[in-house]
Amino acid sequence: MRLLIVGTLKGQLSIATKMAVDKGAAVTNAEDIETALRVMRAKGADLVMVDVAMDVRALVQAFADEMIAVPIVACGTSNDARAAVAAIHAGAKEYIPLPPDPELIAAVLAAVADDAKQLIYRDEAMARVVQLANQVAGSDASILITGESGTGKEVLARYVHTKSNRAKAPFVAVNCAAIPDNLLESELFGHEKGAFTGAVARRIGKFEEANGGTLLLDEISEMDIRLQSKLLRAIQERVIDRVGGTRPVPVDIRILATSNRTLAEEVRKGTFREDLLYRLNVVNLKLPPLRERPADILELAGHFAKKYAEANGMAPKPLSAEARRQLTVARWPGNVRELENTMHRAVLLSSGPDIGVDAIRTPDGARLDERRGPDAVAAQAAIAAEAVTRGLVGRTVADVERDLILDTLGHTLGNRTHAANILGISIRTLRNKLNQYADEGHAIPPPPQGEARYEMRYG
């Protein structure tokens, strides 16, 4: 990852820099805010660490004025509590006390990198996707990653990058859904000084930031169709035009894109270019929703439980049998993202030796097995179905059939005609079965009075 440190590199800040380099970060230093802006315009960064002795608020504002979005972490001596609070209020995401702790530096870098180099999976459905990803990762082919929101599309994209020949080069992601249409062009292709109001200096875009590496276009289906034509040219020609620029800029990148929509359907609607779809969809990695990869649920749940226990300074706890069952039968409309948040809550709410079902709760505080709505109904139906299935294991088909017939007959208060209709068999077949069960010594519900007379006359 790319780390920019703002401040004079001396003493304890130099030690923090060395630790970051040891953890694999590519570090650039800027002694003042103007230099930091030049670095961000020229090549960008994934994380900025700033000395609290600097004007943190001015740095945050300078980045905001030029629409530069990057997490900022403040660093300062451990006894400088007032400066730490001021830095957080000014817009810093975290505060790292100096002298630095190697594990804390590593944790911050891992958090920014999203710890996405490792894929957690066990289900065969997911294994097939990963196998295909491994097959195509070494090429420069464009890849379209599709799936519902929260299935892990960006995580898979980062995995493909780490397995590619560009792994040591930048991985740059841009969320097409999070940036207004009028700003996305500048974000992607950069701009020249004076290109529009607020363009106070030349700034490179994500294409140039990713030069030599991988560019992820996240949720590309949200991109305005007018910008799609410029994107298509950039992908085909491997050149871009900065906003306000007079000459094309060559780029060497590999394009990955994600979408939670069916792009073929968007093409039919006229909101997505068909030729762009062909360019992006050389290979399609389709991530199944979590409900279709049940073996991954407990694997991921255990991973998140351990992760958030460590993050909160708590001892890891196992999941109880009932909690495991509830997690398995839930529908997870939010997929892996929802499961992760649920396990984070569970770690914090659990009070016993294990994570019990009482700790598995929805954001509004309801137990997972008490959730209302269509997903809750489906989950409860799954639980009931599982109970029924478990009760049938080890029994013969003849025994199950006999109990079904007798239970149905009891439900109809002995009415043979109604029971036959419910069971979908003829009345003759039903009578023959009942005669067999009677001969075997089973109690047969008597027919109602009217039907009994019919049985006597015509049975």
Q: Which of 337, 298, 336, 333 is nearest to 318 (CA)?
A: 298
Whether the per-residue pLDDT at 69 is higher than 80: the answer is no
| 87 shares a domain with 190 | no
β-bridge pairing 94-98 and 2-6: unpaired
Q: Which of 38-52, 217-231, 318-332, 444-458 has the lowest mean pLDDT?
A: 444-458
| Summary mean pLDDT of the chain | 84
| Torsion on CA atoms 409, 414, 416, 421, rounded to nearest 10 | -50
Q: Is the pTM of this model over 0.85?
A: no
Give the pLDDT band of residue 192 (cuts 50, 70, 90). Answer: confident
Q: What is the pLDDT of residue 419?
A: 86
| 134 shares a domain with 282 | yes
Q: What is the pLDDT of residue 454?
A: 44
Give domain status of residue 119, yes or no. no
Specify the amino acid at residue 262: T
| 34 shares a domain with 74 | yes
Local structure of 408: helix, strand or coil: helix
Mean local confidence (pLDDT), 442-448? 84
| 190 shares a domain with 146 | yes
Q: What is the pLDDT of residue 453?
A: 47
The residues, any chain, with a CB within 8 Å of residue 63's CB and separated by 6 or more, are: 37, 40, 69, 70, 72
Whether the per-residue pLDDT at 279 is higher than 50: the answer is yes
Give domain status of residue 199, yes or no. yes
**CATH number for the domain including 361?**
1.10.8.60
| 314 shares a domain with 275 | no
Which of 82, 113, 144 lies at the terminal end of a domain, its last residue?
113
Q: Which of 9-13, 66-70, 420-424 has the lowest mean pLDDT?
A: 9-13
β-bridge pairing 47-51 and 249-250: unpaired
Give the pLDDT band of residue 106 (cuts 50, 70, 90). Answer: low
Q: What is the pLDDT of residue 451?
A: 54
Q: Are 180 and 136 in contact (CB under 8 A)?
A: no
Residue 442 dihedral angles phi and psi, to the nearest 5°: -85, 145
Query: How many structural domains does the chain have?
Result: 4
* Domain enclosing residue 336, as ranges: 291-391
Q: What is the pLDDT of residue 370?
A: 67
Q: Cα–Cα distances in Å, from 356 out to 57, 317, 330, 372, 396?
A: 44, 10, 15, 20, 35
Q: What is the pLDDT of residue 198?
A: 73
Instruction: Express as a percent the part of the chain with pLDDT over 70.
Output: 85
| 427 shares a domain with 375 | no
| 128 shares a domain with 253 | yes
Mean local confidence (pLDDT), 150-169? 92
Give the pLDDT band of residue 450 (cuts 50, 70, 90). Answer: low
Mean local confidence (pLDDT), 73-93? 79
The residues, any chain, with a CB within 8 Å of residue 70's CB and separated by 6 or more, are: 4, 40, 44, 45, 46, 47, 48, 63
In this predicted model, what pLDDT tens digit does every residue of 424-437 receive, in sequence order?
A: 888 889 989 999 99
**CATH number for the domain including 414?**
1.10.10
Q: What is the pLDDT of residue 456?
A: 43
In this predicted model, what pLDDT tens digit does every residue of 2-58 receive, in sequence order?
A: 788 888 766 666 777 777 777 667 788 888 899 998 888 877 787 888 888 888 899
User: Which DSSP symbol is given to 28?
Assistant: E
Q: Cα–Cα distances in Å, from 95 out to 23, 74, 76, 85, 319?
A: 19, 5, 8, 9, 33
Mean local confidence (pLDDT), 327-343? 92
Mean local confidence (pLDDT), 320-348? 92
Q: Which has the higher per-residue pLDDT, 159 or 77?
A: 159
Give domain status of residue 118, yes or no. no
Q: Are 429 and 420 in contact (CB under 8 A)?
A: yes
| 439 shares a domain with 370 | no
| 79 shares a domain with 25 | yes
Q: What is the pLDDT of residue 301?
A: 95
**CATH number for the domain including 142?**
3.40.50.300
In this predicted model, what pLDDT tens digit does every residue of 110-132 receive, in sequence order?
A: 665 554 456 888 899 999 999 99
Longest dimension (CA), the chain: 107
Which of 113, 136, 156 lies at the terminal end of a domain, its last residue?
113
Q: What is the pLDDT of residue 457?
A: 40
Q: Which has the higher per-residue pLDDT, 33 or 386?
A: 33
| 250 shares a domain with 373 | no
| 94 shares a domain with 25 | yes
